Amino acid sequence: MTWTPFSGVNAGYVYELYERYLQDPASVDAATRQFFEHWTPPTSEATSQPSTSSETSVDVTKVAAAVKYAQAIREYGHLGARLDPLGTPPLGDPSLDMSSYGLTEDDLRRLPASLVGGAIASATRNALEATEALRAIYTGGIGYDLDHIRRPEEREWLRDTVESGRLSVRNEPLDPDSLLRRLTAVEVFERFIHRIFPGKHRFSIEGLDMMVPMLDEVIALLAEAGESNILIGMAHRGRLNVLAHTLGKSYAHIFAEFKDPVRKQRHGDDVGWMGDVKYHMGGRRAIKNGSPVESIVTMAPNPSHLEFVNPVVEGMARAAGADVSKRGAPSFDPTITQPILIHGDASFPGQGIVAETLNLSQLPGYWTGGTLHIITNNQLGFTTNPVDSRSTLYASDLAKGFKIPVIHVNADDPEACIEAARIAFAYLAEFERDFVIDLIGYRRWGHNEGDEPNFTQPLMYSKIKNHPTDRQVWADMLVRRGVISPTRADDLVKEQTQELQNVLEGLDPERDFIEPRPTPPVPKTARRIVTAIPVERLRELNRALSTVPETFNIHPKLAQAMQKRRDAVEKVDERVIDWATAEDLATASVLEDGISVRLTGQDVERGTYSQRHAVLFDQVSGDPFIPLQALPQANAAYEIHNSPLSEAAALGFEYGYNVQAPRRLVLWEAQYGDFDNSAQVIIDEFVVSARAKFGLTPSLVMLLPHGYEGAGPDHSSARLERFLQLTGDINIRVANPTTPAQYFHLLRRQALLLENDPLPLIVMTPKSLLRHPLVISSLNELAEGHWQPVIDDPVSKPAKIQRVILCSGKVYIDLVGNKARPDHVAIVRVEQLYPFPAEDLQPILDRYTKANEIVWLQEEPENMGAWEFARPLLTELVKDRSVRYIGRPRNSSPAEGSASRHKANQEALIAQAFSVEVEENIADIIVK
């Protein structure tokens, strides 16, 4: 007999039970009572030293062993669960074997069930029955991977829910025939397309067919609970099936997409429209399920880039649950919005965006009340086996670090799948935290329907070939149970096939093909929007923003700055408005106009450059105070959040928030502009192209600190060239403003255009210029001006100008701040780069009749910045004159690593700009 020390948690449990028995023998069940009648608790010596012969110590050892064994089943049972429909035996674990504890069936039979605890204890007669019941639960078709859950109340809830079986089909039966009909619809849909459109990609669901009934179950429960917004994000696999059956997209529409009729170009109203492949498109459906509230189920459109839709859907869910109609912070109601993310088993561990998104899940500015994750685990990623695609045992293991409960479920066990879906729903409702279902099945065909999977997975596919379909497995089960007749399943297949055949025969592809029709962008680039607001209104806003409650202990430096700002803004003509003040006033005025504002990004609350201080902290209590939330004039909510250290998920979330709530002003700020390339997928695939591909009209603002200040290759450029390269058919606006007043008008203009002319706005913003004496505006410029796409030089005698320097952004300040500026040079700022303001620029260029040199000056290397984009456009405008380039030569890196080299090169640029003769090759004077 192995001696097990009678100590630790398990012993504690036995003692607790024994205490209870001593106080009230009736408080424990009969078997336990009987056991304790003959039991003597061991002394402390006996617990620390092996005992050889005492009858009592043997019993105690068995008791402790039984408790441990039961605990191991709960914790590690998933290692013994039958999770693979293709029959791979479970990994197993010695802790799941009673003999590892020196236990026999007889031993367990003699011990009371109460040692096992939980709901099972009262339903069984002894520890053997209880542990067998535990094994049936924990090592069946579901693997409960819960031992990482830290919060005791959650652990308790999960254990009780699982062991009581209250959500199992035993307690809440499902309608077997309706499930069979559903699985028939799912399968026949795939088979029909397979036959009618051979070789065409559809990324069949087959092998994971239960995903659709699981979604049915969860969505019905959500709708019944009154969740008015159910937002789904998923990849290609099974998407057409989910679109057809979950989102209600008509078979006719899908078949028409397969036929892909040649559409006539619709002149005028399809500007920029390119569309996307059918398995990237989204869908929308309104349902009611016994609730007075209608639920809108939305599937977000997404690109091929796996998992990048995750933060987008989270942002959509956040927007759907947020009430921004009142002053102050918006409120968020998790009971009206539910994100569901469907992942692949290779992409979940492989794509970093998954971890970034999971990290958003509990952050105050990003929380969506818990997400349901379903990993559609077909045990393959394209041709790659799990052993090559992850370093973890399960595809879901990443979630464990976030303390998210995980259920693995065998996709061939429909009842287990439905139970998993119910547990997930109940957990989400109870704890409003994320939940993962790892749905383990297989992929009946190749990665796509043209692929030959036997090239790479011959053994797996020889099994799949002979493996009955999910529908067949369920139908066979129902026949065995005598629930349906042997012919029922085939009859259903025939009926469903006939239905599809009828649709196909009645198909008119031209008619049935329905493309989203994006609102065409407004082609005029220079639309004047009245953005100025009266001086008195500005002053009142400023007074409110620079006042803190009397009891608030503001940092003395900030108190001083506020006082200065309060006094300064009383002066109308003096240049007193710096960048941050302009932003603050623009935001306040937008809130007063009734448009809510959300600003996020790394360290935005203070501002990376300590410029914003949108959140003030009481120096005694540490409590925050947000003037824009306390603004008496505000008619909408304001929120600002420091984002986690993410760009891709952080930007994706804001894009999602924005497309869900396009009338709210949503801004994301990069810490330095360069870091936006960490979010390049979100920029390329969503922000700039959502209109062309998905028919959406995002209007997100991206604030990107940009400018050459000697900080090195990585803190200088927001990669302006990348945005300009991504422009076309008026998809975004790109601006590089040089004054606070311009920034003020630009932000207000963006807010005012949300309603009728929404476009994403990309802004190059300053760093050192935030406090530069030349970058200060007057209150009058806010009260009278408007956004100027181009700012001409206020030279008095244009006829004297021989050279016109066109430039954009910070380099302008370097030019005008330079004392060597000669009289024959005019400096024109191009503040808006896209849509390119040709109409504004033309009259300006025409004004300088004697200027035979038109120069484009930039601080970025020739292959970066705006030059290559602007060159052909300018060439057209200057007519018979030529356009010359002054700037750094082509390079692979945006800027010098040395501050002194930067300074020398910057000076060389300015000198060249002002010299009479432009050197042939700027490279000659650049310090290398």
Residues that bind ligand TPP (CB under 6 A): 237, 304-306, 344-347, 376, 378, 380-382
CB of 383 to ligand TPP, least distance (A): 9
Closer residue to ligand TPP (CB): 211 or 811: 211
CB of 913 to ligand TPP, least distance (A): 44
415's tokens: 């009842």
Closer residue to ligand TPP (CB): 298 or 376: 376
Fill in the DSSP letter of residue 686: I
Closer residue to ligand TPP (CB): 347 or 717: 347
Q: Are 696 and 739 in contact (CB under 8 A)?
A: no
Q: Are 229 and 296 in contact (CB under 8 A)?
A: yes
CB of 216 to ligand TPP, least distance (A): 20
92 — alpha (psi -120 to 50), left (phi > 0) or beta?
left
Closer residue to ligand TPP (CB): 206 or 831: 206
CB of 208 to ligand TPP, least distance (A): 8
CB of 203 to ligand TPP, least distance (A): 7
CB of 903 to ligand TPP, least distance (A): 41
Closer residue to ligand TPP (CB): 343 or 829: 343
Report the SS3 class of residue 747.
helix
The three state secondary structure string of 25-63 is HHHCCHHHHHHHHCCCCCCHHHHHCCCCCCHHHHHHHHH
Q: Are 378 and 441 in contact (CB under 8 A)?
A: yes
Closer residue to ligand TPP (CB): 395 or 830: 395
Closer residue to ligand TPP (CB): 685 or 860: 685
Closer residue to ligand TPP (CB): 375 or 761: 375
**Diameter over CA atoms, the chain:** 115
Q: How far apart are CA 840 and CA 788, in angstroms?
A: 9
Tell me how far the alpha carbon of residue 874 is from its chain's centroid.
40
504-510 own/partner pairs: CB under 8 Å, 24+ apart: 504/196, 504/255, 506/252, 507/252, 507/255, 507/256, 507/259, 508/256, 509/255, 509/256, 509/259, 509/260, 509/261, 510/261, 510/263
Helix (H) or strand (E) holding 339: strand 337-344
CB of 600 to ligand TPP, least distance (A): 24
CB of 712 to ligand TPP, least distance (A): 30
Q: How far apart are CA 503 and CA 525, in angstroms?
A: 46
The number of residues making up the chain comes to 928
Q: Are 775 and 579 in contact (CB under 8 A)?
A: yes
CB of 688 to ligand TPP, least distance (A): 18
Q: How far apart are CA 8 and CA 47, in angstroms?
A: 10
Q: How far apart are CA 356 and CA 309, in angstroms?
A: 12
Using CB atoms, what's the residue nearest to ligand TPP?
344
Closer residue to ligand TPP (CB): 441 or 607: 441
Closer residue to ligand TPP (CB): 189 or 348: 348
CB of 358 to ligand TPP, least distance (A): 16
CB of 376 to ligand TPP, least distance (A): 6
Give Cα separations from 436 to 377, 421, 585, 710, 844 (angstroms): 12, 10, 44, 47, 61
Closer residue to ligand TPP (CB): 399 or 806: 399
CA angle 742, 748, 753 (to 5 degrees): 120
Query: Distance between terminal CA atoms of the chain?
Result: 80
CB of 200 to ligand TPP, least distance (A): 16
Closer residue to ligand TPP (CB): 68 or 237: 237
Q: Are 762 and 732 in contact (CB under 8 A)?
A: yes
